[in-house]
Structure 1
């Protein structure tokens, strides 16, 4: 089960048939904005700033790249070198963003990613079953030796690890970096109602207008990408900037007959300004598989360079379980039924009520009685987006960036989990949080938003 509704903005966007060139004019959905003067620049501290990595595969146990050759079995540990590769420096790195894949799992189980040098947490990063191939993106603090650790809690599988990005520490000498403006999930693309499935080997380019009253430059978006695969198709999707050569990495693998989500950070390409003064950007989705696949993109936040310090910084923490309906941890015990919403409170020891704006959470749906989807978000307003898709015997974990507004009494921070159909349990693991930048001037606020959207299939390369 998956959400069928597309956003109004996407419905207004223009879909272009395969073989047409990229549009050169602004979409009819573009909104005019009133230009504003950017606030004055402030001194910026590097701690918690996000940096793009060069998308690079750093581990593939099928070939012995970056780890011993062969499957990783229950209890085995793989230490992954993440500094000094993919453009990530050797010092000043507090956390990395990696896409972790399980390939043709030999037996069902799960694995967990965590900082090297720390005890293995009682959480999970990626769940898999026998014969399954899939992936999950994780933000993992880096150990003092420049590595992260993967441990298989149960089962046996080959493992892939792709580096996506990194967060600088307070001691970093790296210049630049981006701050995150987290959002409730917003549906940007749904190919089922906007141009149709991406063909095997095809690339769909997403163009959008972006308004930011602070005059910042967008570098990446945080987004949940979902492959809605047909009953006979399987393959993988790569999300990338659409500029230059497509990287040889995968964002998510989709299996036959499954709906497969994964949350990741997608670099964007700047295209210039439109007639209304909005900046225009693009990114690309490439499908590699045995058939066409429909794709959904739900935006969770914007990474922008912000000289004025407006935005949030990443604060790493050891993975911790904060809710589990199977045991009653942090939430009333018991499965959730159709159209149910659980309203939860963040543990006060894990957040700063005055500064925490969002957390990085891993939502695992488990024990479903029939196909359903679950959504983790602030709970402030309804959302047409999904986080993870599950079915009987098909548990699934997916990460998300979750807004945490204050509770009604102002004493706690809250969030919600929605279950669409059937009866199912859910588990929430917290791996970090985003706090207001210490450089943000008092009273400053962000107005970042997407104001137009259009997409088209990239013309196929002509043979010689």
Structure 2
């Protein structure tokens, strides 16, 4: 059904459209499209006889995307399909880049915002050639004559089941001597057309099927005699509960071989790997297929592309067929994704060509929700001073047992009673410990949290040390463990997370087009600790086999090889720096004891683990080198759910004092009983540089224990005996009921 045709005024606009013109038209509530509940439309966009080389962009009548829907050269009539979200006003817009051109837009289907008892799920297939008139595959052999019709079987011998309601095809017209068009459909009212030019032309299209036709469609040619080849890319199942549902994103460019300036085109028979998953807020798994627009730009010879899931069996079926010395050709492609959510695009020609890949949407496989973890660890961090005199505020954050992310803002580091509570991310549900890091030049605190869908969300203070928080964002991904965030020495922010396969991912918040990228599959269990270094960050992680591994992530994003420290541990390790600088690790062994390794001068690691005193821990420990005493302090929750601590007897001694209760004079017994594992955060207040130990009790009340030096003797006494170190307990006030 036609929504816009500037030749006859359909859609409300008559006459050619000039360079940089924008044409708007109604897109819902007409042509059988509902007036509400429409998430996207599948449309065919046609440029008719432009007076200059041009491209058309189609988008909701809101914000123009930075991606074209199709390209056309002077005098051509060229069509391409697009998936586009209608605007809130029910309109679409088409922008013409150059010259004068007539524009036509036809709708071939729509997607709904919610599942129900009607509709179809999408089932992607490996691109498979099912029809080729040159060989007689699926159709009578020989060219299709002018005004000729021919039946073609696109079922592929059962590849497309008889219950399918529609099919995603790539149709290629081969050997044309002049302009023309071919229609493909199951009836006169259920057909899609491909406009073609001299040579070979291809187009991705959706064709509605007639269940009684046995997978047969009618192909009709309105132009010179041509050959026809058809590739199937997927089908709609006919069932709303079988197959994947469409998710929309604003059309955006994923890859452009022309940039940066001076970049080289893809060589003859060369390939490029394009990341799709983890970009533009997409998950890193659970993507059944991606909806891409693939453009061939400035080819030197005739050819075509193939699009294949990375590390899959290479597809040989063509897409985006292009003629030599042509400005650009475009074709919609629906494809499965391969390893790390990537596709491989091959230039199947003997010359060079530039390739541009745009993302229009994706089909989602159902994934299980992550459960909300009860009494997950809190996070705590002190902000950077906003000027040279004031001390930074302290921020505490946790995810409560309902999945709500909560932030506590302590303006004065000396005043634990005056705080502000802020729930974040609205009604969305999260799980696990949030991450806090201070962004570079802005000095704003950022919080990152794991959504129950596996995506990672983030938000930041509206200003450095502010109690208010700005717009939150969904960074995508599909992770199994909570994120860890760091700010590198150059001020750039990086978020790390581990997926269900033990693969480590990083999200660098620098420049444009930030996305999740894999750092490799090393079978991590999700327990991850980080330490800031001058040249990057030290990563320390627990593996699925219970060992500890460590690697260095450099400022430029490179990762060293992993060093396996061995062990038989559980939970999240604690990592901290000692003089050298060297890394030290404390972890909970499988039998509940706490063990430690310290890196040696020169970087080597000892072969054996040292036991940290005689203690059985009920959870993961926290550890720090006391900034004032220079001795290692370890804190852990005991089997009685009280918090305990131990100090080295002397600096660097490797021998341990007595394990003591952290909360020595609780007053309120419920405050002494910990429901979470501890977190340690280094802070500075009027008493100098110290640290706080943070945990929550069964009432989800945050308890912060400020390390002090007990009188008489103060710090001098503490240097002699660890028992002289005391901790002042502060119950952070909860919001009024």
| Partner of residue 106 from structure 1, selected from 41, 48, 51 | 51
* Counterpart selection for 2:271 from 334, 341, 365: 341
Match of 1:386 among 318, 336, 344: 318
Tell me which residue corresponds to 2:637. none
Matched, 1:419 2:347: yes
Question: Counterpart in 2 of 1:183?
Answer: 125
Q: Does 1:362 align with 2:293?
A: yes
Supply the distance in 2 between the matched residues of 1:312 and 1:249 (Cα, whole angstroms). Answer: 24
Shift of 1:64: 1.5
Once the two structures are TM-superposed, the CA of residue 247 in structure 1 deviates from its matched residue by 3.4
Superposed, 1:398-409 pairs within 5 Å as 398-405=331-338, 407=339
Q: Relative to structure 1, is the Cα distance of residues 133 and 249 closer, same or farther in structure 2, using a 3 angstrom cutoff? A: farther
Instruction: After TM superposition, give the deviation of residue 216 of structure 1 in Å.
Output: 8.2
User: Comparing both chains, which one has the higher relative contact order based on Cα–Cα distances under 8 Å and sequence gaps of 6 or more?
Assistant: 1
Larger radius of gyration: 2
Q: Partners in 2 of 1:373 and 1:419 — Cα distance?
A: 6
In structure 1, the residue matched to 2:218 is 284
* CA distance in structure 2 between the partners assigned to 1:399 and 1:185 by the alignment: 13
Question: How far off its partner does 1:184 sit?
Answer: 2.1
Cα displacement (A) at 1:108: 1.3
Q: 1:423 to 1:122 in 2, by over 3 A?
A: same
Q: Are 1:262 and 2:203 an aligned pair?
A: yes
State how far apart, in whole Å, the 2-side matches of 1:176 and 1:211 are: 24
Contact persistence 1:236–1:250 (CA under 8 A): no
Alignment RMSD (CA, Å) = 2.4
Whether the 8 Å contact between 2:57 and 2:70 is mirrored in structure 1 is: yes
C-alpha contact 1:110 1:153 (8 A) present in aligned 2: yes
Q: What is the TM-score of this pair, normalised by structure 2?
A: 0.47
Shift of 1:80: 2.5
Tell me how far apart the structure 2 counterparts of residues 210 and 336 of structure 1 sit (CA, whole Å). 35
- 1:196, distance to aligned residue in structure 2 (A): 1.0
CA offset digits 1:143-202 (Å, max 9, x no partner): 1111111111223210111110000012x7x74111111112110101111111122222
8 A Cα contact 1:312 1:357, kept in partner: yes
SS of 2:24's equivalent in the other structure is strand
1:252 equivalent in structure 2: 194
What secondary structure is seen at the aligned counterpart in 2 of 1:377?
A: strand
Alpha-carbon separation, structure 1, partners of 2:159 and 2:364: 20
Structure 2 matches for 1:66-77, cutoff 5 A?
66-77=11-22
Report the Cα distance in structure 2 between the residues aligned to 1:250 and 1:311, rounded to whole angstroms: 23
Residues 1:168 and 2:96 aligned together: no
Q: Whole-Å Cα distance in 1 between the matches of residues 117 and 353 of structure 2?
A: 46
Q: Which residue of structure 2 aligns with residue 300 of structure 1?
A: 233
Please say if residues 239 and 284 of structure 1, whose CA atoms lie closer than 8 Å, have aligned partners that are also in contact. yes
CA deviation after TM superposition for structure 1 residue 377, in Å: 2.7
Match of 1:193 among 135, 139, 163: 135
Q: Is the 8 A contact 2:59 2:94 kept in 1?
A: yes
- Matches of 2:43 and 2:89, distance apart in 1: 17
State the partner residue of 1:22. none
Against the structure 1 CA distance between its residues 121 and 209, is the aligned structure 2 distance closer, same or farther, given a 3 Å change threshold?
A: closer
3-state DSSP of counterpart to 1:271: helix
Q: State the partner residue of 2:248.
A: 316
1:211-250 matched pairs, under 5 angstroms: 211=158, 217-231=163-177, 233-242=178-187, 246-247=188-189
Change (3 A) 1:154 1:376: farther
Question: Are positions 1:206 and 2:185 aligned together?
Answer: no
Contact 1:373 1:388 in 2 (8 A): yes
CA distance in 1, matches of 2:156, 2:317: 21
Q: Secondary structure at the match of 2:264?
A: coil
Measured against aligned partners, the alpha-carbon deviations of 1:388-412 in whole angstroms (never above 9, x if no partner) come to 122213410111102112x2xxxx3
Q: What displacement does 1:373 show?
A: 1.2
String of CA shifts for 1:360-386, please: whole Å, max 9, x gaps.
111111121222212223141122211
Distance 1:216 1:328 in 2: 47
TM-score (ref. length: structure 1):
0.73
1:428 alignment partner, one of 357, 360, 372: 357
SS of 1:348's equivalent in the other structure is coil
Deviation at 1:344? 2.5
Match of 1:137 among 81, 91, 96: 81
Structure 2 gap segments, 5+ residues each: 370-737
Could you give the per-residue CA deviations for residues 304-352 of structure 1, whole angstroms, max 9, x where no partner exists? Answer: 1236x231110011011110111059xx942111111212222514321
C-alpha distance in structure 2 between counterparts of 1:227 and 1:190, whole Å: 10
Structure 2 residue 32 is matched with structure 1 residue 92 = no
